[in-house]
Amino acid sequence: AQKVTQAQTEISVVEKEDVTLDCVYETRDTTYYLFWYKQPPSGELVFLIRRNSFDEQNEISGRYSWNFQKSTSSFNFTITASQVVDSAVYFCALSESRRGYQKVTFGIGTKLQVIP
Amino acid sequence: GAGVSQSPSNKVTEKGKDVELRCDPISGHTALYWYRQSLGQGLEFLIYFQGNSAPDKSGLPSDRFSAERTGGSVSTLTIQRTQQEDSAVYLCASSSQTTQYFGPGTRLLVL
């Protein structure tokens, strides 16, 4: 069975600090996708990134970066120089093909609070 | 273009009443998902629609929950004889391939 673990339930950092959100996944499939979503206080989930299982290149987008390591089944997310607007719940998700569709399993989320 | 829309944004109902929640997916997206998010919790998968195929209802918590998708577009999630434990945010997502895009959700409160 597929599983996504976000061990950090809540993190507080002071503005401008760097913070890393951990995500560990379990799957038996060789082809799968990993995602990060942001859920700000307004409630709407915002797609941040998708990574497929064959692409282990790390990615950087502005202050955001993602580290995908298949050897440790991890897909960690780092925010550099955090800002108050980064305060949100962040979800990691795993998608596998099942009977012709993508079955997505979400982690329980990490609540990030950035203190000014 | 327009994103996923959901209505109503908030719904307060009395225990035992039926409610209908609506989802309008992104135009052209063939896949549609419903999730439930209880306060402070993660996302619980409810049901999935793909084109004209039979839906995957494996996540529906009881037979009081049902969903339809008419014409491969708009979907309605119906909860009959609502209970207080049904109070949650109900999220809809659509996708064309692998990435799901979410609507703003419907906050349901059952008194």
- Subunit contact B31:A101, Cβ cutoff 8 A: yes
Using 50, 70 and 90 to split pLDDT, how confident is the model at A7?
very high
Percentages (nearest 5) of helix, strand, coil residues in chain A: 5, 55, 40
- Find the mean pLDDT for residues B57-63: 92
**B13 within 8 A of B28, measured Cβ to Cβ:** no
Using 50, 70 and 90 to split pLDDT, how confident is the model at A99?
low
- Subunit contact B45:A104, Cβ cutoff 8 A: yes
pLDDT over 90, % of chain B: 74
Residue of A nearest to B51 (CA): A101
Look over chain A and give the mean of its residue pLDDT values, rounded to a whole number: 92
Residue from B41, B89, B99 to probe the interface with A (highest A Cβ count within 10 Å): B99
- Find the mean pLDDT for residues A39-65: 90
Rounded (5°) CA angle A51-A55-A57 = 95
Q: Return the higher-pLDDT residue of B56 and A25.
A: A25
**B4 within 8 A of B23, measured Cβ to Cβ:** yes
Residues of chain B contacting A43 with CB distance shorter than 8 Å: 89, 104-105, 107
Q: Which of B69, B49, B72 is nearest to B59 (CA)?
A: B49
Rounded (5°) CA angle A31-A32-A33 = 145
pLDDT over threshold 90, residue A69: yes
The reported pLDDT for the residue numbered B53 is 82
Residue from B6, B38, B43, B56 to probe the interface with A (highest A Cβ count within 10 Å): B43
